[in-house]
Amino acid sequence: MPKVLVTGGLGFIGSNFVRHLIAARPSWTIVNLDARTYAGNPANVADLPKSRHRWIKGDIADAKAVDKAMAGCELVVHFAAETHVDRSILDASAFLKTNVIGTQVLLDAALRRKVRRFLHVSTDEVYGSIPKGLSKEGDLLEPNSPYAASKAASDLVVRSYFVTHRAPVITTRASNNYGPYQYPEKALPLMITNFMEDRPFPMYGDGRQVRDWLHVQDHARAILHVLEKGALGDVYNIGGSYTCENRELISKVLELMGKDARLVARVEDRKGHDRRYALDCGKLKRLGFRHAYDFERGLRETIAWYRAHEAWWRPLKTAGGYRSYYKTQYRKK
């Protein structure tokens, strides 16, 4: 009956993972350590059985809180992070504290507590922008945003704990996630909810930046797969089933929602905006993982989910913190 510590399990990807784990591993119990920042939402896990899942409010950079939460856990899956690139451009401090120091604090606790496996969830952004081809796990890390730099730093801390302390770590690097429960500051939920309100989506620059889209449920399945089957000390890329330019994505969403192209507002580009990410996922495939979602189905279901869950996202968009962020972020654009 494994007990798993999930960090950041109130967030978008973390809560989807917790939901998947409850369904896929009926004998496992989950301790969910989450600081409940603006992006962590107890509503994301409100329907999950209390007998299987317990949320503890706490910061991963707080050694005492981490040590207590990890008691009796043999597995750790580490999602907790500041993740929004635009926010890291406005102020990088929380990114360094949570993503780098928080990871180090967790690793120290995992060594003390003799955790059996520690999976560190990272991102394709650590490779930086690649004009062509696919990023492989062994490629140079060339992060460009403060967010990406903080994740690359955390990946290196994880690596160092494997080499130095033989910590039982595995790192995964995923592409752009989409699906239910994504906080509406990220491109896709912002686009869908703005279009529902007949408000424009602010497209950065020429909209020709390329992203690879991974359904969050496939990501959750892939993480569990790697947690159970991956080799300690290794890194695994987790890409999606579809790669496209932002302007193509916008057109698809407009079409599926029956909206007009006038709802696209071209605005000033993001500073240091990475042009293209693309992942080589051969290693994950060789480990036996297969996607369940194709993008067309995933996107339709995601639009339907936001349509059906206005009561989930509207309070987030009308909250004071969101409105002041939105104003600061898009005022000059």
* Selected catalytic residue, list 127, 147, 242, 293: 147
Q: What is the DSSP letter of 141?
A: P
Per-residue exposure over 249-259, b if at least 16 CB sit within 10 Å of its own CB, e if not: bbebbbebbeb
243 binds ligand DAU (CB under 6 A): no
Binding mask 26-55 for ligand DAU (x = CB under 6 A): ------------------------------
- Output 39 or 109, the one with its CB closest to ligand DAU: 39
Tokens of 167: 């910590």
317 binds ligand DAU (CB under 6 A): no
- Please indicate whether residue 306 is annotated as part of the active site: no
- Please indicate whether residue 125 is annotated as part of the active site: yes
Least separation, in Å, of the C-beta of 123 and ligand DAU? 3
Among the listed residues 30, 39, 50, 48, the one whose alpha carbon sits nearest the alpha carbon of residue 12: 39
- Please indicate whether residue 74 is annotated as part of the active site: no
Instruction: Compute CA 91 distance to the chain's CA centroid, rounded to the nearest angstrom.
Output: 19
Residue 21, CA atoms < 13 Å, CB-side half-sphere? 31
18 binds ligand DAU (CB under 6 A): no
Residue 257, CA atoms < 13 Å, CB-side half-sphere? 27
Q: Are 90 and 328 in contact (CB under 8 A)?
A: yes
| Other C-beta atoms lying within 10 Å of the C-beta of residue 138 | 7
Least separation, in Å, of the C-beta of 57 and ligand DAU? 22
Binding residues with ligand DAU: total (CB under 6 A): 20
> Which residue of 61, 246, 276, 278 would you call a contact of ligand DAU, by CB under 6 A?
246
Least separation, in Å, of the C-beta of 83 and ligand DAU? 3
Binding mask 150-189 for ligand DAU (x = CB under 6 A): -------------------------xx---------xx--
SS3 string, 192-237, reads HHHHHCCCCEEEECCCCCEEEEEEHHHHHHHHHHHHHHCCCCCEEE
203 binds ligand DAU (CB under 6 A): yes
> Which residue of 202, 230, 239, 298 would you call a contact of ligand DAU, by CB under 6 A?
202
* Selected catalytic residue, list 125, 137, 155, 218: 125
125 binds ligand DAU (CB under 6 A): yes
> Which residue of 277, 289, 293, 295 would you call a contact of ligand DAU, by CB under 6 A?
277
Q: Are 122 and 272 in contact (CB under 8 A)?
A: no
* Selected catalytic residue, list 34, 59, 82, 124: 124
Helices (H) then strands (E): counts for the chain: 13, 12
Tokens of 201: 């989506």
Per-residue exposure over 295-314, b if at least 16 CB sit within 10 Å of its own CB, e if not: beebbeebbebbeeeeebbe
Q: Which stretch binds ligand DAU (CB under 6 A): 40-48, 72-80, 136-144, 199-207?
A: 199-207
> Which residue of 7, 32, 103, 123 would you call a contact of ligand DAU, by CB under 6 A?
123
Distances from the Cα of 100 to the Cα of 132, 156, 169, 327, angstroms: 29, 9, 15, 28
Binding site for ligand DAU (CB under 6 A): 83-86, 123-125, 175-176, 186-187, 190, 202-204, 209, 211, 246, 270, 277
What positions carry a catalytic annotation?
A: 124-125, 147
